[in-house]
């Protein structure tokens, strides 16, 4: 499944706010799991966020020249990502895509707000750790919530924002391919060219968030 934008757009910060993007030079399971959990909880209803692995950061901005991920580590990173994100409660899996940019490899994780909020993650990866935290995003930081913020998070779970509600009566025929193509073109998604020549169902079904508010 492809992410709804591309790495060049994410690196520019021109479409997705910097606070919704986190850059990681290498795969860091503990820190990345906390950030994915925070994006999934989406306390401020931003629409989740992105993690780009293979990019060094300085004050939240990408550092050039881009480093990328060594080719021989890409597969191992993907397997480890799958294993570690099974540790979230309830289960949550970001949408991962390996992308090529400037002759280098990167992994982009798209983490939309989850349907089963709130989500928790282990405080540490130590084998004897039993503490779990409902991480949230504050500005450009992943943090532990205060008592009041944790209450807000649980209240949010009881009133899922309209944009995040699943319309179980929606059908693939309700989607408007022209509107979808306009959106994909605007965010410079890698799906745009595919949408002009590919199968409509193949394009539409993976992007299930487009079905959420149809009705």
Supply the pLDDT for residue 90: 92
Distance separating alpha carbons of residues 76 and 88, to the nearest angstrom:
20
| Local structure of residue 73 (DSSP, 8 states) | G
Distance separating alpha carbons of residues 18 and 118, to the nearest angstrom:
23
Stated pTM of the model: 0.74
Distance separating alpha carbons of residues 106 and 161, to the nearest angstrom:
32
| Local structure of residue 69 (DSSP, 8 states) | B
Print pLDDT tens along the chain (215 aa): 567 788 998 998 877 888 899 999 999 999 999 999 999 999 888 889 999 999 999 988 999 999 999 999 999 999 999 899 889 999 898 999 999 999 999 999 999 988 888 999 999 999 899 999 999 999 889 999 999 999 998 887 665 555 555 554 566 677 777 888 888 888 777 777 777 776 665 555 544 443 333 33
Neighbour order of strands in the sheet with 49-53: 21-24, 49-53, 104-111, 95-101
**How does strand 49-53 pair with strand 104-111?**
antiparallel
Q: Are 31 and 24 in contact (CB under 8 A)?
A: yes
Q: Are 21 and 73 in contact (CB under 8 A)?
A: no
Task: Give me the residue label for tokens 């030079």.
Answer: 25
Taken in order 43, 118, 55, 11, is the CA torsion positive or negative? negative
């Amino acid at each position: 499944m492809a992410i709804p934008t591309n790495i060049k757009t994410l690196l520019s910060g021109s479409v997705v706010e910097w606070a919704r993007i986190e850059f990681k030079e290498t795969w860091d399971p503990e820190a990345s799991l906390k950030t994915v959990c925070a994006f999934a909880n989406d306390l401020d209803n931003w629409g989740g966020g992105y993690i780009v692995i293979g990019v060094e950061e300085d004050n939240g901005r990408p550092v050039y020249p881009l480093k990328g991920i060594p080719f021989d580590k890409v597969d191992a990173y993907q397997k480890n990502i799958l294993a570690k994100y099974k540790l979230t409660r309830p289960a949550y899996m970001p949408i991962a895509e390996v992308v090529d940019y400037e002759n280098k490899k990167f992994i982009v994780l798209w983490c939309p707000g989850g349907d089963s909020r709130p989500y928790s993650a282990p405080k540490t990866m130590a084998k004897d750790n039993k503490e779990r935290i409902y991480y949230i995003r504050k500005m450009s930081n992943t943090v532990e919530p205060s008592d009041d913020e944790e209450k807000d998070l649980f209240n949010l779970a009881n009133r899922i924002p309209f944009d995040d509600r699943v319309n179980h009566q929606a059908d693939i025929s309700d989607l408007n391919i022209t509107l979808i193509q306009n959106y994909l073109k605007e965010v410079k998604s890698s799906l745009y060219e595919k949408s002009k020549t590919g199968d409509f169902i193949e394009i539409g079904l993976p992007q299930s968030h487009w079905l959420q508010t149809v009705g």
